[in-house]
Amino acid sequence: MQFAQPIFLWALAGLSIPIAIHLLSKKEGKVIRFGSLRHVRETSTQQFKSIRLNEWLLLALRCLIVALWVLLLSGLQFDQTKNQQWLVVDKSVKNHPLAKKWMDSLQVQGFELHWLADGFPTEEPANGSINYWESISSLRQRELEKVVVLSSSGVEQFGGMRESLPASIQWITLPASEHRFLAEAFQKSNNDYLIRLGTSSNDATEFETIRASSGIDSVEAKNILQQNVLIVADEAFEKDARLLKASLEAIQEKLPIQFTIQQQNTGNFKSNHCDWLFWLSNKKFPASDSASIVFYHPESESAILKSVGNKQWALTKRLSISIIKDANFTLQLASILIPESEKWKNIRQHDRRSMPDSFLQSSVSSPSTSKSFIENRFNYYLFILLLVVFMLERWIAYRKNQ
């Protein structure tokens, strides 16, 4: 318990006012009628002999009113934080040289060692993966005096709604060293392999694809994806069809996919079996249950390819060299032609990207935010109690004519 303005505690001297009023007040006596004053004698008894504390309940209520008013003026506060200091360590950095120094130093200072996992156990958990935003929320609810978190701050673990970092939590990011890994390998032919190498650091994860005449023994080479493509275009869309075909050829040159491309015009269109149908015409495209369809549908959208339904995409602009370059058309086209969800699940295991400290520090809440909320809430209840006591005192005083 503490006071924001302790100087106002001197006002507690005002408690003497209701006590003095009660001491100086006389209780109303009974009226006795008598006929003559000649038998009344003057007495030497002091006046204050007949004065005593009158109306104990009213005196207590009036003293309570003064005390509550003084507490409101002095800004009574209660410190809600628990006198505990925690060192919370992410399992991913337990072998980091800096982490060992922090752990030795802080434990000597009295910090309790906990692990960054559900429930913040004191024993090392089997699984160290956890959502960082949820961890910050859980630590805030514990209302600890001081928390130091040692973490790799991996980008993948900052999922969901962003939380503000309380001032009692010091989040320290321990940078990981650069990591090189083999992402995948594909065999295009007997002596032609595509090998994708990755490099991950705190700032970025990058990839490069190289051609090789042989595979890598430690990695099983996959067969490249085979796709049948049918391009149907009007005469007015002949240039669009040529640019689309060039983009497809560039994709299969660099990525693990092989296209078998056929071309038709809308006049002699025949529904052939295909995996992808590109409909470059103002006419309505044909329905298909098996093929994925990309059709021309002009819109003022920023994305040149827009998903409009199950296995359907709209090409929102006519193709030109400038449009393909500015809108990254080839890259966007590759993202819908090659399913990569399973591949990225494996690559995430090698991801070393971390959230910068500036990102976390920008969400630090004011140290007085939670305390001021508690203080304001307590003062609100104190003010309500003062009003209730004052109204009760007035009602009793009115009934007793005091």
Q: Given the structure tokens 């309380």, which residue do they identify?
A: 166
Q: Which of 121, 122, 124, 137 is nearest to 92 (CA)?
A: 124
Mean pLDDT of 248-260: 88
Distance, in Å, from the CA atom of 333 to the CA atom of 67, rounded to the nearest integer, reads 75
pLDDT at 129 over 80: no
User: Looking at the domain assignment, is residue 349 inside a domain?
Assistant: no
**Mean pLDDT estimate for the chain:** 81
pLDDT tens digits, one per residue of 281-330: 998 888 877 789 999 999 876 789 998 888 899 999 999 999 999 889 99
> In this predicted structure, what is the pLDDT of residue 218?
64
Judgement on whether residues 243 and 324 belong to the same structural domain of the protein: yes
Judgement on whether residues 280 and 326 belong to the same structural domain of the protein: yes
Distance, in Å, from the CA atom of 93 to the CA atom of 169, rounded to the nearest integer, reads 18
Judgement on whether residues 274 and 240 belong to the same structural domain of the protein: yes
CB atoms within 10 A of CB 281: 18
Instruction: Using pLDDT thresholds of 50, 70 and 90, give the confidence band for residue 367.
Output: low
Per the structure, the count of domains in the chain is 4
User: 182 with 381: CB under 8 angstroms?
Assistant: no
Distance, in Å, from the CA atom of 309 to the CA atom of 300, rounded to the nearest integer, reads 18
Residues in the chain: 402
Judgement on whether residues 63 and 127 belong to the same structural domain of the protein: no
Judgement on whether residues 228 and 336 belong to the same structural domain of the protein: yes
Mean pLDDT of 120-133: 84
Q: Two tokens at 366?
A: 């004011």
pLDDT at 20 over 50: yes
**Lowest mean per-residue pLDDT among 141-145, 151-155, 244-248, 337-341:** 337-341
pLDDT tens digits, one per residue of 198-215: 899 888 888 888 888 876
Distance, in Å, from the CA atom of 386 to the CA atom of 396, rounded to the nearest integer, reads 15
User: Looking at the domain assignment, is residue 142 inside a domain?
Assistant: yes
User: 18 with 54: CB under 8 angstroms?
Assistant: no
Q: What is the DSSP string of 185-244?
A: EEEEETTEEEEEEEEE-SS-EEEEEEEESS--TTSPPEEPEEEEEEEEE-GGGHHHHHHH
Q: Which of 256, 184, 193, 187 is nearest to 219 (CA)?
A: 184
User: 169 with 136: CB under 8 angstroms?
Assistant: yes
Q: Which range among 148-162, 232-246, 364-378 has the greatest average pLDDT? A: 232-246
CATH code for position 270 = 3.40.50
Mean pLDDT of 382-393: 88
Judgement on whether residues 91 and 171 belong to the same structural domain of the protein: yes
User: Looking at the domain assignment, is residue 350 inside a domain?
Assistant: no
Mean pLDDT of 177-201: 84
Distance, in Å, from the CA atom of 168 to the CA atom of 84, rounded to the nearest integer, reads 11
Domain that residue 167 falls in = 82-176+355-366
Residue type, 221: A
Judgement on whether residues 284 and 304 belong to the same structural domain of the protein: yes
Query: Which ranges of 75-231 would DSSP assign to H, the alpha helix?
Result: 97-108, 132-142
Share of the chain above pLDDT 70, in %: 82
User: 227 with 258: CB under 8 angstroms?
Assistant: yes
pTM over 0.75: no
Judgement on whether residues 162 and 92 belong to the same structural domain of the protein: yes
Judgement on whether residues 113 and 128 belong to the same structural domain of the protein: yes
Judgement on whether residues 292 and 334 belong to the same structural domain of the protein: yes
Judgement on whether residues 286 and 270 belong to the same structural domain of the protein: yes
Q: Which of 4, 68, 110, 83 is nearest to 374 (CA)?
A: 4
Judgement on whether residues 100 and 114 belong to the same structural domain of the protein: yes
CB atoms within 10 A of CB 213: 8
pLDDT tens digits, one per residue of 27-55: 555 666 666 656 566 655 544 444 444 57
User: Looking at the domain assignment, is residue 346 inside a domain?
Assistant: no
